[in-house]
Structure 1
Amino acid sequence: MNQNKHYRFETLALHAGQPVDETLSRGVPVYRTSSYLFKDTEHASNLFALKEPGNIYTRLMNPTTDILERRLTELEGGAASVAVASGTSAIFYAIITLAEAGDEIVAASNLYGGTYTQFDAILPKLGIKVIFVDPSNPENFQRAITEKTRAIFMETIGNPGLDYTDVGALSDVAHRNGLPLIVDATFTTPYLLRTIELGADIVVNSLTKWIGGHGTAIGGCITDAGRFDWAKGRHPLFTEPDVNYHGLRWAKDLPEPLAPIAFALRVRTVPLRNLGSCISPDNSWIFLQGLETLHVRMARHCDNALKVAGYLLNHPKVAWVRYPGLQTDPSHEAASKALKNGFGGMVVFGLQGGYDSAVRLIDNIDLFSHLANVGDAKSLILHPASTSHSQLSPEQRLQGGLPDDLIRLSIGLEHPDDLIGALEDALQLLP
């Protein structure tokens, strides 16, 4: 690629981050190796001391994964990315890179069940307190911030309630308090929303979902915008000497080429290096194949989802429907201002018959695969209250916008009329 040209998203999705190597391979090679040779003892020492870049061990970096990370960085508009074994690991590593025992995080309450449980049950055992607030009003975050707060965390579109949260508004709250905004952008992907342009400082994605697109691999990614000033004083992990690296102060001692990506570098060299939730090169290769068609697939996911949501909205056996693309949706006005390429591939709804009807529909539907994933090329269906969010109490589920009758649809790439037909057949079986 010509480095002097500004390429658009579709072009970057196919070409970014891939240098042509000595084999002249057009496809990205898969480097299946655990470790790499050192040229000599000085080279080895320089790599471990962060004095020069290079490969040491695939737990830390891999040439195939490096291309994936560079491509995601370009698509997000960030400065550096670190790919890890799962989206859950990406969230955990992002938090523990900037917070330690005694610190606090302020998070939106409408989170994916696994994230909520991590924040509610696991991080507190490590001494990190998470305060959950209703994301519909940015001032709720302001009121929850204390001198111990280290970051604000949110999802672009809540899972599974599908409320759009205003990234720009929360970035304003975070930045006027000297805090970074961490955004889980899985439900929008960089094709629908480049959150860094709206003020996000750290972006996490589950690559397993639309970025991969075919339900064939698990992975996650953390992208550092490269703009947050970690030296402001609210993040002692960046301003005080780090015993892991001979007293290095991440926000003050890194040379200029590395200084803007202090966060990404600390993710790679502290939690990833020492806890080891690394992505395999084969999975990195699979996600690169998905990225090449992300823009094509997301457009179809969004079109299909809007048609399915419109059908459900007018069905007499359906009690309610949530989809940000519907003009009747509570999030539509805010989402319309930010989401210019579509409103995502998720639809949720409830039935007049409540829980019992939801179970009966799921057990009798065609085409929709009943499983716990989203973002697949195939359409998927789930009852979150009894599966992905079952660890939450009824009160916690309602706080997150998840009533017990909610059915979650991940709309795939099938013909929309066939998906509507499958729903109609199943709805006809209900009383």
Structure 2
Amino acid sequence: MGIQTPNGFNLDNSGKRIVVDPVTRIEGHMRVEVNVDDQNVIRNAVSTGTMWRGIEVILRGRDPRDAWAFTERICGVCTGTHALTSVRAVENALDIKIPENANSIRNIMQLALQVHDHLVHFYHLHALDWVDVVSALSADPKATSQLAQSISSWPLSSPGYFKDLQTRLKKFVESGQLGPFKNGYWGHAAYKLPPEANLMAVAHYLEALDFQKEIVKIHTIYGGKNPHPNWLVGGVPCAINVDGVGAINMERLNLVSSIIDRCIEFTEQVYLPDLQAIGSFYKDWLYGGGLSGKSVMAYGDIPEHANDYSAASLKLPQGVILNGNLKEIYPIDLKDPNQIQEFVTHSWYKYPDETKGLHPWDGVTEPHYELGPKTKGTKTNIEALDEEAKYSWIKSPRWKGNAVEVGPLARYIIGYAQGKAEFKDPTDKLLKDLGLPVTALFSTLGRTAA
């Protein structure tokens, strides 16, 4: 097998094979196999989706207006995004126009989800890679307070507050029932934060855990519940009557407004200062950028005007960057079936001609679970996958044949390249404060900051 060069990366799978299955702290089912050399440096990685979902099959023969209710069950963390996309697709197909108020409510719900997901990902799915919980027990609460107050005016920063938290954390650790903190690599040399920064971060971890339940109330007000709020083709599922009792009245609108204000406060006073403070200790993490330094794509979102999905109307940027060339941004045409195609060369599905990709409209979702000849193990007990054959339940989407990264970092790179002030200014400030070049965006550190 030896050396391979997918998407411009040199991969060598001749070393020791290590399997991580399942990969935790994500939504869904995932397995990763890596090859390490004699220095324990990863030289090859194979990522595979291990669960057959079959949402496309479930949707066959159903009323398109109900599709949103099934598609959003794909994920309970990014809850609502798939549903909104489904609703928009039906509206586009039937040329249905939505009211301006409906557009505003959809935007508020989507932005609330983005803030929620950023907080959950950073503090609860990702922070423990950088924060040593046990180290916080040796911190000086007074010094922790001074550190916290030096980077933010957040009120929960007194020595007594951190002392009390430290006492509760000590009892928690001594109980031996660590829950989400079990099996951590506490004390490992790769952790670089001083004890005081660890104590501050643990405090904010717990505060964010408590605060996230407040953010999702926006979904329950407009969508009836969370996760998986309700949506509606042609508008939104909530009636609005400022003087009513059972509808969205002034009391509920004021509650939404107060939650938005608190989101802004928590983001500016806790989340962003923590990002910069923790990032300052891990400035050497300028690798692990994946495709971000090569090819990225963003569809754009948050239309300022209802039914207008032009780049000028979208608050989030739109476009494609290929081969790391920030000076050239390709336009996206959703009506062009040759732009987005899905391939199943390495996926457990069957196409009439597997040398070609299919646009999702023409897509075929026919499961075909067959292991490659170099697979080690059996169908029910795989020891090592054959990456030259089919090895995943996830299809491979491509933009004009190119593998591209999407998500927050992709949006920031495209917005930065377009010179949009709301993306360029905070990026330049962060890079300046950390003393890092623009290329630092294309890294684990850059992805975390996005």
TM-score, normalisation: structure 2: 0.24
What TM-score do the two structures reach when normalised by structure 1? 0.24
Higher relative contact order (CA 8 A, sep 6+): 1
Answer with 1 or 2: which has the greater Rg: 2
